[in-house]
Structure 1
Amino acid sequence: MINRVIIVLILVPLAVILIALSVANRETVSLTIDPFNPGNPALSYSAPLFVWLFAALILGLILGSFATWYNQGKHRKLARQRKLEAELLRKEARKASAETAATPNLPSLH
């Protein structure tokens, strides 16, 4: 149910906006990588403007995802360390409870 709401409220309007953007920006635009010789055909690429916009969007998503993943590395490392520590403590607790269960209750000398 919630997935359908997300699709209807977010993805459908986003798709409509992207389609409208694509239709409105069909003009061919040249992207030149060589700033000193803009007419160089080997380093100039022509495509509709919406293609360049989508390419920039996708590149931004990829770079942003990578930057987020890289910055969260210290948190993942800490989580791994704490998971190992918790597992070690669980093993020690099981061992201690097994030892107390195996030891008979002796009367105290008091």
Structure 2
Amino acid sequence: MVKKIFGLVIFVPLGIVLIVLSVANRQTVRLALNPFQPDDQMLSISAPFFVFLFSAVIFGLLLGSAVTWFTQGKYRKRARNEARSALRWQAEADRHKSRAEEIAGSTLPQIPAK
């Protein structure tokens, strides 16, 4: 519930701001990728300004997600190792339990049936 409220508080105003920016910045601009010759048509892109804004936001989200995923790799590896260890311990406990039941079953005195 808190995540939903937090998401609404953050993402609704962010969406409104992005929509307002995209409506206000519909004019075509040119992004020059050659800093030494900005008039070079081969290394420039013309598009509405909001396209560049959205591209920057999407690029930032993807880059941030990738960095987070790589930095959390050690924790995922640790979790995998711990899960394998837990499975080994569980299997060993099951073996000991079944062996204890076998021993307990064979050492119980037999009561004659009437």
TM-score (normalised: structure 2) = 0.81
Match of 2:90 in 1: 90
What displacement does 1:27 show? 2.2
Structure 1 segment 5-84 matched on structure 2, within 5 A? 9-84=9-84
- Distance between the aligned counterparts of 1:68 and 1:20, measured in 2? 30
What displacement does 1:13 show? 3.0
- Distance between the aligned counterparts of 1:102 and 1:33, measured in 2? 77
> Residue type of the partner of 2:34?
D
How many residues are paired up?
A: 107
What displacement does 1:46 show? 1.0
Higher CA-based Rg: 2
Judging changes above 3 Å, is the alpha-carbon distance between structure 1 residues 61 and 7 closer, same or farther for their aligned structure 2 residues?
A: closer
What displacement does 1:9 show? 4.0
Structure 2 residue runs of 5 or longer lacking an equivalent are 110-114
> Residue type of the partner of 1:92?
E
What displacement does 1:59 show? 0.4
Deviates more, 1:6-15 or 1:50-59: 6-15
Among all aligned residue pairs of Structure 1 and Structure 2, give the percentage whose two residues are the same amino acid: 46
RMSD: 2.3
